[in-house]
Chain A
């Protein structure tokens, strides 16, 4: 067991101007864990992920990755350390082809042979992507775009994968497929922090979870514990 967690937030604060969206949260992820962060709209989940990935600055507290503070590191350098975010709304480059989108994921890599091999692995994982390689990505369906977004993130060979609402706006069957993919990524040892509004799905799926409310973490526990918690059931599972 490695002693330092892969990711550690200590009293992290994030603000948009004068408005604090994340009001001091602490959480940690050990190597290889699959953890989810659930909560209502506007609870600060996306803000938290963006702060971890570096597209938003922090307003206080500590953000440790592999034991080192990365608060001041720009987003593009965080990716180079193995920290990848699949952003909310997928963030596909709609005017680039599917293949170009995937290759953007490997932008920083110099090991070209391994990139080609990884591309092949993404194709086996996401067979529908391969048929559409030369298509402009904006013409794909939402589910296909989400697949491309995840495949693209995998091509950077992340150690920590942050997923922001991968199920958003997708049909249940498609969501199931996407979660199968996420499970197989986790099985390969990639640490995953998943933000989801679909609490039921997220809790069944993860080892541990945090519940976020108005910028604070209000509950934490294993997926099963939280699924059984009456407060969680009432607030997020619609019971």
Chain B
């Protein structure tokens, strides 16, 4: 029972990071019908840029406290990723807007390789230790549950960003234009919406969320690496499909469900497999889920809207 509760807490933390990344996939899919496979690598760039900024600050402004240093590093990384997201859309995807769907998909995979290779050239192939500016030491256990300050921060930041995004999309003029463009580019332009701008904004918002997710991911695990975006990217994509791709609520739900299943599964995988597998095989769960969803409910948990886009 204690394991279950503990793994639930851990699962919610990981799941909320998956949810933030999944939002980027689902927003871009909703508006362009494109799976942006480079999204996970934007997360990686976010983490490494933050790492670089924090290193520099620790050298040149050592008097700055830990939290201000982290916030400054995060801000730099968010801005860099916003520019990166815009640039990717502008240079790689925009000219393929009316091309057959396979062309932008392959381009996305190409952008992913490009970002990983560039990051490898800049930061090398080694794992970098990511400074743990928010403590990863567990607090006094509450009812036997261990939770760390960094986990609390991740939960709070993710929840805030998700609420903000939902409000933006559902309550503002920009959000209305985003939803209108997602449904019908042509008619949206007839309303005076500059759809190119709306699409660019969608990439920029998604990339900002990926940057935050990258910094949280690295803060939680204490490492950063040029290929670190691949697995969380793929899992967040799974989460988006699980929730119903194109659907914001679905991405959040899918992220949390995936995080929980993975985490709880990891806690019991030894028992389940009679000692044959251990918790380092936890990645199995994400892809088993992806397979099951695609077979039995290809539109995802909340998605009945995929049909009219495909």
A residues lining the B interface (CB < 8 Å): 53-55, 74-77, 79-80, 84-85, 87, 91, 93-96, 100, 103-105, 107-108, 152, 156
User: A79, A96, A107: which contacts B179 (Cβ < 8 A)?
Assistant: A96
Report the stretch among B10-18, B103-111, B189-197 that lies at the interface: B189-197
Verify B193–A76 contact, CB threshold 8 A: yes
Closest chain A residue to B182, Cβ basis:
A95
Verify B176–A79 contact, CB threshold 8 A: no
User: B184, B188, B189: which contacts A74 (Cβ < 8 A)?
Assistant: B189
Q: Chain B residues with Cβ under 8 A from A96's Cβ?
A: 176, 179-180, 183
Nearest-CB distance from A58 to chain B (Å)?
16
Verify B189–A103 contact, CB threshold 8 A: no
Listed by A's residue number, 24 A-B pairs whose Cβ atoms lie within 8 Å are A55-B186, A55-B190, A74-B189, A75-B186, A75-B189, A76-B189, A76-B190, A76-B195, A79-B190, A85-B190, A87-B186, A93-B184, A95-B305, A96-B176, A100-B176, A103-B176, A104-B188, A104-B193, A107-B173, A107-B176, A107-B177, A107-B193, A108-B191, A156-B191
Closest chain B residue to A101, Cβ basis:
B180
Q: Chain B residues with Cβ under 8 A from A100's Cβ?
A: 176, 179
User: A53, A77, A95, A105: which contacts B183 (Cβ < 8 A)?
Assistant: A95
Nearest-CB distance from A83 to chain B (Å)?
10
Q: Chain A residues with Cβ under 8 A from B193's Cβ?
A: 76, 104, 107
Verify B189–A91 contact, CB threshold 8 A: no
Question: B187 on the interface (CB 8 Å rule)?
Answer: yes
Verify A80–B183 contact, CB threshold 8 A: no
Interface size of B by CB at 8 A reads 18
User: A74, A79, A94: which contacts B191 (Cβ < 8 A)?
Assistant: A79
Nearest-CB distance from B294 to chain A (Å)?
24
Q: Is the interface of B mostly helix, strand, loop or mixed?
A: helix
Closest chain A residue to B186, Cβ basis:
A55
Verify B187–A76 contact, CB threshold 8 A: no
A79 with B180: in contact, given A55-B186, A87-B186, A91-B187 (CB under 8 Å)? no
Q: Chain B residues with Cβ under 8 A from A84's Cβ?
A: 190
Q: Chain A residues with Cβ under 8 A from B189's Cβ?
A: 54-55, 74-76, 79
Bound Cα distance A128, B263 (Å):
52
Q: Chain B residues with Cβ under 8 A from A152's Cβ?
A: 191
Nearest-CB distance from B109 to chain A (Å)?
29
Complex interface residues of chain B between 154 and 180 (CB less than 8 A to chain A): 173, 176-177, 179-180
Closest chain B residue to A104, Cβ basis:
B191
Bound Cα distance A79, B188 (Å):
11
Q: Chain A residues with Cβ under 8 A from B183's Cβ?
A: 93-96
Q: Chain B residues with Cβ under 8 A from A85's Cβ?
A: 190
Complex interface residues of chain B between 183 and 224 (CB less than 8 A to chain A): 183-184, 186-195
Verify B184–A91 contact, CB threshold 8 A: yes
Bound Cα distance A107, B174 (Å):
9
Q: Chain B residues with Cβ under 8 A from A95's Cβ?
A: 179, 183, 305
Bound Cα distance A212, B47 (Å):
61
Closest chain B residue to A149, Cβ basis:
B187
Verify A108–B192 contact, CB threshold 8 A: yes
Nearest-CB distance from A111 to chain B (Å)?
14
Q: Chain B residues with Cβ under 8 A from A103's Cβ?
A: 173, 176
10 new A-B contacts, CB < 8 A, other than A87-B190, A93-B179, A93-B180, are A75-B186, A76-B189, A96-B180, A100-B179, A103-B173, A104-B177, A104-B191, A105-B191, A107-B173, A156-B191
Verify A76–B179 contact, CB threshold 8 A: no
Verify B194–A76 contact, CB threshold 8 A: yes
Bound Cα distance A94, B309 (Å):
13
Closest chain A residue to B197, Cβ basis:
A76
Bound Cα distance A91, B193 (Å):
14
Verify A80–B176 contact, CB threshold 8 A: no
Q: Chain A residues with Cβ under 8 A from B195's Cβ?
A: 76
Bound Cα distance A74, B195 (Å):
10
Nearest-CB distance from B197 to chain A (Å)?
9
Closest chain B residue to A79, Cβ basis:
B192
